[in-house]
Amino acid sequence: MSNKNAFTLIELLVVIAIIALLMSILAPALTKVKAQAQDALCKHNLHEWGLMFNMYADDNDGTLMDMNVINGVEFYHAWVPLMRRYYQDFEICLCPATTDRWSNLEYYSDPLTAWDFQILDDPLVADEVVDQPYYKIGNTWAYGSYGKNAFVSSADLVKLNSDEEYSLYYHTVRVRRTSEIPLFGDCNYTGGFPDPHDEPAELRYHGPIDGPNINRWNLDRHNLSINMLFLDWTVKKIGIKQLWMLRWNKDPDWGNPDIVPWPYDPEEWPKWMQGALNYGL
């Protein structure tokens, strides 16, 4: 005897087809919601970093650490250990959009990967750095997906070597136009020294070690944009073409359309960057 309350095979297939159709319609929306949540959490992380860098500056007479110096001694990626006392959980070092870390990958140029000290074997990493306990929590090496603008520092050793280079630095956080000076944001290295003559990376996948330093921030991390903490302690979304408009240092060429690529002219940019939006700064 047949069961009149049971589903037929055709009815089940129709239900499955409807569910599949709904999933295909909802998937882009769910992906967008996820991306928006990651973007919001990233901004929250950077707000927390703003509080911590502000505390560090208050503790050090308004100055921030040199990129590669601790207590007058050359020590690369110095902000990593020096900021360690201000937070407990390493996860604040990671943008939520990142999916992996360098040490797990053979090729670490993906904009969604985070740096870590387990495989940093380039010439910029001295042996004494990776041997320091500052860089480990238990058995985990320090890692992160944000980087610091090296030109915001006291730069004491730079002064000994080059007055011209020293003049490019912001030696204190108590300067003018702080809302235009980037300090810390989405990056595929611990930081760098951007130059207004740096050329944009030709490919979406580009490594942090070789090539112009500004491309360490030039990442397709949040739909062709990144989040950046500025020296007025605010966090802003930056379209990657706008990186050349920011005042990374005191070089007057920043933002000069005769010197740097103009963000409103798509022909001046590699193809992968042309769709990047420009946001209010």
Model confidence, pTM: 0.84
90, burial (CB in 10 Å: exposed 0-12, middle 13-18, buried 19+): middle
Q: How far is CA 39 from its chain centroid?
A: 12
Task: Give pLDDT, residue 125.
Answer: 46
What digits encode the pLDDT tens for the residues 92-126? Answer: 999 999 988 887 887 778 999 999 876 544 444 44
DSSP 142: P
Place of tokens 């136009």: 177
Q: How far apart are CA 168 and CA 150, in angstroms?
A: 11
Asked if residues 161 and 66 have their Cβ atoms less than 8 Å apart, the reply is no
Task: Give pLDDT, residue 217.
Answer: 97
Pick from 21-30, 48-57, 262-271: least confident:
21-30
pLDDT band of 143, cuts 50, 70, 90:
confident
Token reading at 198 = 């740096």
What digits encode the pLDDT tens for the residues 199-258? Answer: 999 999 998 877 899 999 999 999 999 999 999 999 999 999 999 999 999 999 998 988
Task: Give pLDDT, residue 27.
Answer: 64
DSSP 207: -
Q: How far apart are CA 249 and CA 169, in angstroms?
A: 6
Q: How far apart are CA 20 and CA 15, in angstroms?
A: 9
What digits encode the pLDDT tens for the residues 39-73? Answer: 999 999 999 999 999 999 999 999 999 988 887 77
Task: Give pLDDT, residue 156.
Answer: 77
Residue, of 40 and 6, whose pLDDT is higher: 40
Asked if residues 194 and 149 have their Cβ atoms less than 8 Å apart, the reply is yes
For residue 221, the tally of other CB atoms under 10 A from its CB is 24
Mean pLDDT, residues 68-89 taken together: 84
Token reading at 203 = 């490919």
Residue, of 158 and 132, whose pLDDT is higher: 158
> Around 59, how many Cα atoms within 13 Å sit in the side-chain half-sphere?
12
Task: Give pLDDT, residue 117.
Answer: 74
Q: How far apart are CA 123 and CA 94, in angstroms?
A: 24
141: left (phi over 0), alpha (psi -120 to 50) or beta: beta
